[in-house]
Amino acid sequence: MPASSNDFLGRGYDERADLALCPFEVEKVAMRHRWDQLTFLHWPFDPVAVQALLPPGLTVETYDGQAWVGLVPFVMEVRSAKGRLLPWPFRFPETNVRTYVTGPSGQSGVWFMSLDASRLGVVPAARATYRVRYFWSAMSVSRAGSSMVYSTRRRWPGGRGTSSRVAVEIGDRYRVEELTPFDHYLTAQWVMYGAWGKGLLMAYACHESWVLHRAEAVWDDELVAAAGLPQPTGAPIVHWSPGVDVRIGFPHRTGKTR
């Protein structure tokens, strides 16, 4: 069963001292991102329920026997491969629903159950290139002092009106020595998977270590349930970050090198 055969702790990751560090370089950069003003909310789920939503070739990854699903709202900024700032439509709110998986080669990574973006042009391009489930949504992000509010209402394709609202109160920054392997597991992921027909694509994403803050959240979300999971219950595990600059590699079929 996935809960016992693919557990993060069971593979010795808790013994690594560099969990927060990207373990490779992206040699050929397709684009550069800024993931800005970002909040992670995570809930535990039954691994069997999550596995049922994955494409062939991906196995749900567990931590302490639970699958973990994240709701992650933030502000996306897209730059060219050489770092040039693109026109204003390339800075926009985004929210993703994600879980953690192992691919055919044993590489851990992220499977996006959905991604919502406020820029229509991004949606078909990302669906075609990286084979991920992007939706066009009406979105906003606002901040006043230590308080942030993210809102999403889906427009296209499908699920029109599906919504999410997350209000966050940002707390103190974690000291590096306070962060646990579990904190890093939920935030420091370096591979993104997408579906390609009956196969899989993968792309590498490398960035500096997250600066993480304690945070509390009040949430009213329909995106997780819209992805096919039960409605989350209980308080999520919440982290907030001012953001990171990210180097994104070109997508390729699993099994190929960077």
pLDDT one-digit tens code per residue, 148-189: 999 999 998 888 999 999 999 999 999 999 999 999 999 999
Are β-strands 163-173 and 147-156 bridged in parallel, bridged antiparallel, or unpaired? antiparallel
Q: State the pLDDT at residue 54.
A: 96
Are β-strands 191-196 and 108-117 bridged in parallel, bridged antiparallel, or unpaired? parallel
> Which of helix, strand or coil describes residue 3?
helix
Question: Whole-angstrom Cα distance, residue 117 to residue 10?
Answer: 36
Q: State the pLDDT at residue 255.
A: 53
Q: State the pLDDT at residue 83.
A: 63
pLDDT digits over 28-77, tens only?
Answer: 999 899 999 999 999 999 999 999 999 999 999 999 999 999 999 999 99
**Residue 80: closest CA among 32, 125, 128:** 32
Where are the domains positioned within the chain?
Answer: 32-249
CA 93 to chain centre: 14
Q: State the pLDDT at residue 124.
A: 62
Q: Output the pTM of the full model.
A: 0.90
The mean pLDDT value of the chain amounts to: 88
Please determine, for residue 130, whether its predicted confidence score (pLDDT) is greater than 70: no
> Which of helix, strand or coil describes residue 127?
helix
Q: Residue 119: which pLDDT band, with cuts at 50, 70 and 90?
A: confident
The CATH label, of 2.40.400.10, 1.10.260.40, 3.30.420.40, 3.40.50.300, for the domain at 32-249 is 2.40.400.10
For residue 181, give Cα distances in angstroms to 16, 63, 242: 9, 10, 20
**Contact call for residues 137 and 119 (beta carbons, < 8 A):** no
